[in-house]
């Protein structure tokens, strides 16, 4: 009798579990059947008054933007942002076929809704008259304190930087009459597009060109995705970094063409878990970590992967640069499958970086450890490998695997490889032979916790 009771009880339990499994499967099973399910949900939500994905589109033209490349469209962009900011997952549209003159502007949270999309298909240009720029302003287009923000589209952000690159800006007849025509541009050159203090930032499709200074900057951001982006400015435009990262974590940059006058990607203090792949760089200064530790500051960078990158006619290929006198560390860095073509110095670590005329002798340094180079191939124009490490804190854990670098002048090795206080392993034979690397490890006297 008791066994029968037990049996029927277990049967009930089995049926109950089966029912549970079936129910929990319902949603995803329906979802998998296609779009219809989502439409249903969307319309139900709409009836209920809730906002839904892409439910609201705000076009800057409906907020008074002229888009003729001459009228000041700043107020229209601000008004459109005011509207888009209030609606979760809404879209601000900058339509194609128009050119919008926009003065320095901040698309600012933190009281905005999340998941906003900035659909950029038109062109946004910066003012070229000094009157539009208040002194000390660090950026032109600024997105701050946002949760999941996307900029996408086929559009262009043009900083019209040439007026900043030369010391005396030239008279620009197309400039708005209200603008000062003869004034010198402020001393600080602004970044074209900056994201600050945001989580879940995506930038895709767009072109950013001719920035007065850095083209695209992320500061204090997490979960950043940049892909299919173009950066374009002349190779001789000063300090025009492509993408600049600072105090940011979990960043992926891929599938992009970066051509500029300074570092294609610059990874600064406070960055970790940075993944860069399938990038074309050049002209430019290469892909750089640092300069770190300027003015005796503490700098930490870790977990950086740079792979499947092509560099052409750049100053350096993959580089780590730290200022004498700093502290902190750069560690766990992997450079792999890097193809260089006519690059001055493809592989470089410089712990004596100093772009002031004179740097004092310092014993403190930003530690450099755990740096892997794997499959770095192509041609150089000056020196294949340059490791200049600190006497007090030598570089450790430098590993080299499949390095094949040829001088552009056939059969003539120009100079180097150069190593000073660099410790590590040659995992394979290299071309040219890199005999100067000290084998094994040295104890880094100070343990730099980051
Ligand atoms: C770097 O990666 C290691 C190993 O994957 C991980 O344990 C560590 O937390 C990472 N560091 C940071 C700062 O995220
Ligand atoms: C810097 O350090 C080097 C080597 O330790 C020493 O020879 C030189 O005199 C120092 N220079 C200054 C300006 O302290």
**What are the tens digits of pLDDT across the range 239-294?**
999 999 999 999 999 999 999 999 999 999 999 999 999 999 999 999 999 999 99
Ligand 1 atom with the smallest distance to the CA of 303 is: 1
Catalytic residue chosen out of the listed positions 115, 142, 219, 262 = 262
- From the CA of 275, the nearest ligand is 1
Q: How far is the CA of 21 from the centre of ligand 2 (A)?
A: 74
C-alpha–C-alpha distance, residues 217 and 101, integer Å? 21
pLDDT of residue 5: 54
pLDDT of residue 444: 62
C-alpha–C-alpha distance, residues 421 and 437, integer Å? 8
Q: How far is the CA of 440 from the centre of ligand 2 (A)?
A: 27
Confidence of residue 175 (pLDDT cuts 50, 70, 90): very low
Asked if pLDDT for residue 200 goes beyond 90, the answer is yes
**Active-site residue 39, yes or no?**
no
CA nearest neighbour of 126 among 101, 107, 151, 156: 101
Q: How far is the CA of 393 from the centre of ligand 2 (A)?
A: 16
Q: How far is the CA of 302 from the centre of ligand 1 (A)?
A: 7
Domain segments of the chain: what residues?
Answer: 263-450
Q: How far is the CA of 352 from the centre of ligand 2 (A)?
A: 13
284-310 average pLDDT score? 96
Which of 245, 300, 303, 334 for mutating ligand 1's site (highest number of atoms within 8 Å of CB)? 303
Q: How far is the CA of 450 from the centre of ligand 2 (A)?
A: 29
Cα–Cα separations (whole angstroms), residue 363 to 296, 325, 356, 395, 396: 11, 6, 18, 14, 17
Which of 271, 274, 332, 333 for mutating ligand 1's site (highest number of atoms within 8 Å of CB)? 332
pLDDT digits (tens, 9 = 90+) for 361-418: 788 999 999 999 999 999 999 999 999 999 989 999 999 999 999 999 876 767 889 9
- From the CA of 334, the nearest ligand is 1
> Which residue is closest in CA terms to ligand 1's atom 12?
272
Ligand 1 atom with the smallest distance to the CA of 273 is: 14
pLDDT of residue 32: 36
Ligand 1 atom with the smallest distance to the CA of 272 is: 13
In the structure, which protein residues have their CB atom closer than 6 angstroms to any atom of ligand 1? Answer: 272-273, 302-303, 332
Catalytic residue chosen out of the listed positions 244, 285, 350, 386 = 285
Phi, psi of 294 (to 5 degrees): -65, 145
**Active-site residue 262, yes or no?**
yes
CA nearest neighbour of 325 among 348, 300, 349, 354: 354
pLDDT of residue 379: 97
Confidence of residue 1 (pLDDT cuts 50, 70, 90): very low
Say which CATH superfamily domain 263-450 falls into. Single-stranded right-handed beta-helix, Pectin lyase-like (2.160.20.10)
From first CA to last CA, the distance across the chain in angstroms is: 69
pTM of the model: 0.84
pLDDT of residue 252: 98
Ligand 1 atom with the smallest distance to the CA of 249 is: 14
Give the number of other CB atoms < 10 A from CB of residue 132: 24
- From the CA of 272, the nearest ligand is 1
CA nearest neighbour of 338 among 375, 363, 303: 375
> Which residue is closest in CA terms to ligand 1's atom 3?
303
pLDDT digits (tens, 9 = 90+) for 179-192: 444 467 878 899 99
**261-265-271 Cα angle (round to 5):** 140
Burial class (CB in 10 A: 0-12, 13-18, 19+), 188: middle
């Amino acid at each position: 009798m008791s066994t029968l009771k037990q049996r029927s009880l277990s049967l009930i339990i089995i049926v109950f579990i089966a029912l549970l499994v079936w129910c929990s499967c319902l949603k995803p099973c329906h979802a998998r059947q296609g779009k219809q399910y989502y439409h249903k949900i969307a319309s139900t939500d709409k009836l209920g008054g809730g906002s839904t994905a892409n439910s609201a589109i705000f076009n800057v033209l409906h907020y008074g933007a002229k888009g003729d490349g001459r009228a000041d469209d700043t107020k229209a962009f601000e008004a459109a942002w005011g509207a888009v900011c209030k609606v979760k997952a809404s879209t601000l549209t900058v339509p194609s076929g128009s050119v919008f003159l926009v003065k320095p502007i901040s698309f600012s949270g933190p009281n905005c809704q999340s998941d906003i999309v900035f659909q950029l298909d038109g062109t946004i240009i910066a003012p070229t008259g000094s009157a539009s720029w208040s002194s000390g302003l660090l950026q032109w287009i600024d997105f701050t304190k946002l949760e999941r923000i996307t900029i996408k589209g086929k559009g262009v952000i043009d900083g019209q930087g040439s007026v900043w690159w030369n010391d005396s800006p030239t008279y620009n007849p197309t400039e708005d009459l209200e603008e000062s025509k003869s004034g010198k541009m402020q001393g600080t050159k602004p970044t074209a597009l900056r994201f600050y203090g945001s989580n879940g930032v995506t930038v895709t499709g767009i072109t950013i060109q001719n920035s007065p200074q850095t083209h695209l900057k992320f500061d204090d951001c997490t979960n950043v995705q940049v892909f299919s982006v173009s950066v374009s400015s002349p190779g001789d435009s000063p300090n025009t970094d492509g993408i600049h990262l600072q105090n940011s974590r979990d960043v992926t940059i891929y599938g992009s063409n970066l051509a500029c006058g300074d570092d294609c990607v610059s990874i600064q203090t406070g960055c970790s878990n940075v993944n860069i792949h399938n990038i074309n760089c050049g002209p430019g200064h290469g892909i750089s970590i640092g300069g770190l530790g300027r003015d005796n500051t503490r700098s930490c960078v870790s977990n950086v992967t740079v792979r499947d990158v092509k560099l052409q006619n750049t100053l350096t290929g993959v580089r780590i640069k730290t200022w004498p006198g700093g502290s902190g560390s750069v560690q766990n860095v992997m450079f792999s499958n890097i193809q260089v073509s006519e690059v001055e110095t493809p592989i470089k670590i410089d712990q004596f970086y100093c772009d002031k005329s004179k740097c004092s002798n310092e014993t403190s340094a930003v530690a450099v450890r755990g740096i892997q180079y794997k499959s770095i191939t192509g041609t150089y124009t000056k020196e294949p490998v340059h490791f200049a490490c600190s006497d007090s804190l030598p570089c450790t854990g430098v590993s080299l695997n499949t390095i094949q670098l040829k001088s552009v002048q056939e059969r003539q090795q120009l100079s180097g490889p150069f190593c000073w206080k660099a410790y590590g392993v040659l995992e394979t034979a290299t071309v040219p032979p890199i005999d100067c690397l000290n084998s094994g490890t040295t104890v880094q006297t100070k343990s730099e916790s980051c």
